[in-house]
Structure 1
Amino acid sequence: MTISKTNTGRWRARPKVGRNVIASRTFDRKADAEKWHDAQIRAFDLGQFVDPKAGKEKLGSALDRWMVARSGTVAGSTLKADKALLRMVPISMRNLPLAAATSQQWDALFVAKLQADMARSSVVRLRAVVSSFYTWAIRQKIVASNPTKEAPVPKGTGVRKPHEVYPFTVDELREVVGDLIGNQADVALFLGLTGLRWGEMVALRVRDLVQVPRAAVRVSKSAPDGQEERATTKGGGERTVPLTAELVPIVATWAAGKKPSDYLFTSAAGYKLNGPNWRRSTGWTKYNRGRRIHDLRHTAATFWLSNGIDPKTVQTWLGHASMTLTVDTYAHWMGSDADLAAILRIDSLLGDARGTSAKTGSE
C-alpha cells in the first residue's frame, strides 16, 4: 500500500512510480495523506514533480550554486552587481530551507529596503535577481514555485538615485586628447565621439570597420578588463555606430598593416588594450579633469542629444536596451528648438527690462 497507518496512529503517504517510492510524508488525517499522495503522482505525470528532500537545501547555499552556474554566461559586471544585491538577503533567510522561504518573507524584505531609503529601482532589481534564481531552481527541480511572484515591490516609496553624468564639451575633449601622452590618446577621442563602452572598443577587430554606405564600426563583442571576451555587448545586441570625418583617418592609421582578425586598437607592444595600463601610459589621471573613462561615452551621448539628434537614434548608437534608459540618463541634455526659442525670448525680455531700468535711473 502507498498509504498506511503508522504505529503512532498517523498516516504515511508513499507515492510510487513503478516500483520506486518518489516521496514520503506523514499526516494526522488519512484524507490529507490521500490528497498529498495524489498531488505528487499528478505532478510527476505532468513533469512538475519536485522531490521534497531537495527543498531542504539552505537558501544561501542554493543562491551560491546559482551564481557559480551563471559565471561565464552573463557579463562580469552584471554578476558583480547581482552578488552585491544578494548580500542584502539576511543571514536569517539564507539559513532557511529553500522550500521554507515564503512570499511574505520576501515581501517584508523588499518593504524593509524601501523604508531604509534604498532606491526603488534597486529594490526592483533585487526582486528580479531573486526571481531569476527561482526560475533556475524550478528548472533544476529543487523547488516547485516562485514565491516572489506574490511579492511585488510597492510603488511610491524609495529614493531614485540619479545617474552621474559628467561629460566633456567637444572643445574640452580635444584639449584633453592634446594633453595625453603618445598616439594612444586617439583612443580617448574615439570613445568621446562614438560613445562606445571601453570593453566594446577593446574588442573591435579590423574587420569591424565598415565603409558602405558610410564609414562606421560594427559593435558586436565586448572585452572588459580582466574578463574573457564575450560574444555579445552589454545591451545584448549588435549595432553599427557611424564615424565622424575626424575619426576616419585615425582608424585607418590604426588598421594599416593589420589582418582583418587583428584588434583595431592595441598597446604599444601590439597587445589587447588594458584600462589601467592605458591610463598609466597616457597620463589619463593627470589630464582627465576629474572625469572617468566612462564619461567619454557620456560626452558622445550628450553632444548628440544637445545638438538635436533624436533619442531613438542615440539609443541605437549607444546600444541601450530601451529608449527609456536613454531618456532617463540624459534628460537634462536634450535640447530642442522650443528651448532655444524660449531662452532667446527670455533674454530679450531681460535685456529690454535692463535697458528701461538704466534709462529711468539716468533721468
Structure 2
Amino acid sequence: MARVIIDDRWLKDSADGTPPSTAAARALASARDPFKAKVPEKWRSSRYGVGKRWRVRWLVIDDEGVRRQKSKMFDLLTDAEEFAAALEDDVRRGRYIDPDGGDKLFSKVAESWEETKIDVKDSTLLRYKRELRVYILPMWGKKMLREITRGDLQRWVKGLAVGNYPAKLPGKRQPKPLAARTIRNIVKVVMAGILDHAVENKWILDNPARAVKVPKAFVKDDDMVFLAIKEVEALANAAASVGRDVDGLLVRFQAAVGTRINEALALQVQDLNLKKGTARIRRTWTRNLDGKMELGTPKNGEARTVAIPDFLIPLLEQQIAGCAKDDYVFRAPRGGAIDDGNWRTRVWTKAIKALGMEDEGVTIHSLRHTYASIAIANGADVKTLQKQLGHATATMTLDTYAALWPDRLDNVAHAVSQAWESHKTKAKDKTEVKKDPKEYEQAA
C-alpha cells in the first residue's frame, strides 16, 4: 500500500503555482463561516466551504488485484492527521484494516467466500451451501460485518442447541435442537470460515466466531449401534432375500472390512488382490453440485489398502468370476454401479424391517462401527484401525472408538512391575560378585 496523503479540499495553489499564504490559511482556520474568511479567490477551490475540508486518501489492492483509491473525510486537520498516523502505523505492523470493510453485508462476504472453495469436494461444498442457506443466512445474511459480535454469536449457538433460531427449513418443518457435531460444523467450519475470509481481506480485524464456545461433541456407546456377527449374518441373508446374493455380500463386506458404503460401491475388479487378501480403496462415489453421483477421491483425499478377511475371499472370487477388470465388484442388475440411495430404499430398509430392527437405530454406517468393534475386541491397535477405516488421524479413531478398547491398566501396571523387578535383580547380582582373593588375604 502506498503512503497516506492528506488533502485540503478547500484551498488550492493559484494559477501561477503560488500556494495559499499562511495568513489566508490562518484566517480560514479561525473563521466560523468559511465564506466570511479573508481568503483571496485565487486560492479557493471549486469545493471551497462545501462539505468536510480534509481528505485522507491511500491506495489498496482489491480482490481482483486492481489498485484502488480509498479515502475518508474529516472536518478538522488534527483528526485527519491522527487517522493518517494510525493508518500508516497499521500498515507498518501488518494490521491494516479497510475502514469501510465492516460495512460489507455478511451475505456478500459469504458469496465471496464460496468462490474460494475450489479445493474441496463438490459434496463438501454442497454441505457448506446447505448449512449457509438453512441456518446461517436467515440469522446473519442482512447484517453488516461490524454488527456481528462474539456475544451475539454465543447467544446464537445457545439457540441452535435448544432449537430457538431462525432457519429456512423445507416444508413446514420447525427448528429443533441440533446435535453438537452439527453445531460445530455450522459455527466453527462455515461461519468461522466466512469471517476468516473477511479477516484475510482486511475487512475486519479479527474473527469473533473463533472465540465462541460450542457444545462438545461426545461420542457415546449409545450413539452408535454395534451388531453381533449373528445379527450381521441375519441382515446379509435378509438383504439377499429381498434383493440378490450380491446385496448380502455387500452387507458382509461392510461389516467385515469397514469401508464406507460409497467406497465399497466404487470398487472395481482391478482394485482387488484376492491372493493377498487386500483391496485398494482409491475412489468413492460422491455428489456434485448438481446433486448427481460422480467418482472422486476417498474422504481424506488419499487412497489406502485394506485387508479382506479370509472367509470373504471365495465369495468375492465367485462374484467377480468372468468380469472385466474395470467392472464394478458390487454391480446393479444391468451391470452398472449401484446407487447407494436406491440400495437403501430397495434393499436395506426392507431387510431391516424384515428382521424387526427398524426402531433400533441400525444404519448402513452401523456396519462400519461393527467392524471397528470386532477388530478392537480382537486386538487391533489404533494405527492399524485408522489405516483400515481411512481416518485422517489416529486421534479421530480414538475420539470415535476410545470406549471400545478394553481397560488394561492392571496389565500395564503388572508389566511395569515385572520390568522393575528384573532390573533390581540384575543390579543385586552385580553387587554380590565374589571378592578378589588378595582382598581375603589382607583381611586375614
Quote the residue 1:355 is aligned against.
Answer: none
Quote the residue 1:134 is aligned against.
Answer: 195
Alignment equivalent of 1:11, drawn from 37, 44, 54: 54
Residue-by-residue CA offset, 1:192-242 (whole Å, 9 max, x unaligned): 111111111112222221357x31111122204654435322233322110
Distance change >3 Å, CA 91–CA 191, structure 1 → 2: closer
Query: How far 1:269 sits from its partner (Å)?
Result: 0.8
Task: Give the Cα separation in 2 of the matches to 1:336 and 1:12.
Answer: 71
Structure 1: runs of 5+ lacking an equivalent: 341-363
Tell me, what secondary structure is at the counterpart of 2:328?
coil
Task: Give the Cα separation in 1 of the matches to 2:128 and 2:140.
Answer: 20
Query: How far 1:286 sits from its partner (Å)?
Result: 3.0
Identity across the alignment (%): 24
Mapping 1:247-258, distance limit 5 Å: 247-258=312-323
In the alignment, is residue 267 of structure 1 matched against residue 332 of structure 2?
yes
Distance change >3 Å, CA 145–CA 275, structure 1 → 2: same
Quote the residue 1:284 is aligned against.
Answer: 351
Mapping 1:184-199, distance limit 5 Å: 184=246, 185-199=248-262
Task: Give the Cα separation in 1 of the matches to 2:316 and 2:6.
Answer: 74
Aligned residue pairs total 335
Query: How far 1:21 sits from its partner (Å)?
Result: 5.5
Tell me, what secondary structure is at the counterpart of 2:305?
strand
Tell me, what secondary structure is at the counterpart of 1:133?
helix
Quote the residue 1:201 is aligned against.
Answer: 264
Deviates more, 1:39-48 or 1:260-269: 39-48
Structure 2: runs of 5+ lacking an equivalent: 11-49, 61-66, 164-176, 412-444
Query: How far 1:94 sits from its partner (Å)?
Result: 2.6
TM-score (norm 1): 0.74
Query: How far 1:316 sits from its partner (Å)?
Result: 1.7
**Code of the aligned partner of 1:173:** V
Find the structure with the greater CA-based Rg: 2
Task: Give the Cα separation in 1 of the matches to 2:216 and 2:368.
Answer: 29
TM-score (norm 2): 0.62
Task: Give the Cα separation in 2 of the matches to 1:45 and 1:262.
Answer: 61
Quote the residue 1:333 is aligned against.
Answer: 404
**Code of the aligned partner of 2:74:** F
Quote the residue 1:234 is aligned against.
Answer: 299
On the 8 A contact 2:153/2:209 being kept in 1, the answer is no
Quote the residue 1:350 is aligned against.
Answer: none
Distance change >3 Å, CA 263–CA 318, structure 1 → 2: same
On the 8 A contact 2:268/2:329 being kept in 1, the answer is yes
Task: Give the Cα separation in 2 of the matches to 1:21 and 1:252.
Answer: 66
Task: Give the Cα separation in 1 of the matches to 2:75 and 2:152.
Answer: 27
Tell me, what secondary structure is at the counterpart of 1:241?
strand
Task: Give the Cα separation in 2 of the matches to 1:207 and 1:44.
Answer: 57
Alignment equivalent of 2:106, drawn from 59, 65, 70: 59
Q: Cα RMSD over matched residues?
A: 3.9
On the 8 A contact 1:76/1:227 being kept in 2, the answer is no
Deviates more, 1:308-317 or 1:231-240: 231-240
On the 8 A contact 1:199/1:223 being kept in 2, the answer is yes
Residue-by-residue CA offset, 1:326-346 (whole Å, 9 max, x unaligned): 233333432366799xxxxxx
Tell me, what secondary structure is at the counterpart of 1:207?
helix
Quote the residue 1:324 is aligned against.
Answer: 395
Task: Give the Cα separation in 2 of the matches to 1:67 and 1:89.
Answer: 14
Mapping 1:94-109, distance limit 5 Å: 94-109=141-156
On the 8 A contact 1:119/1:158 being kept in 2, the answer is no
On the 8 A contact 1:218/1:241 being kept in 2, the answer is yes
Tell me, what secondary structure is at the counterpart of 2:317?
helix
Distance change >3 Å, CA 326–CA 39, structure 1 → 2: same
Quote the residue 1:349 is aligned against.
Answer: none
Distance change >3 Å, CA 93–CA 34, structure 1 → 2: farther
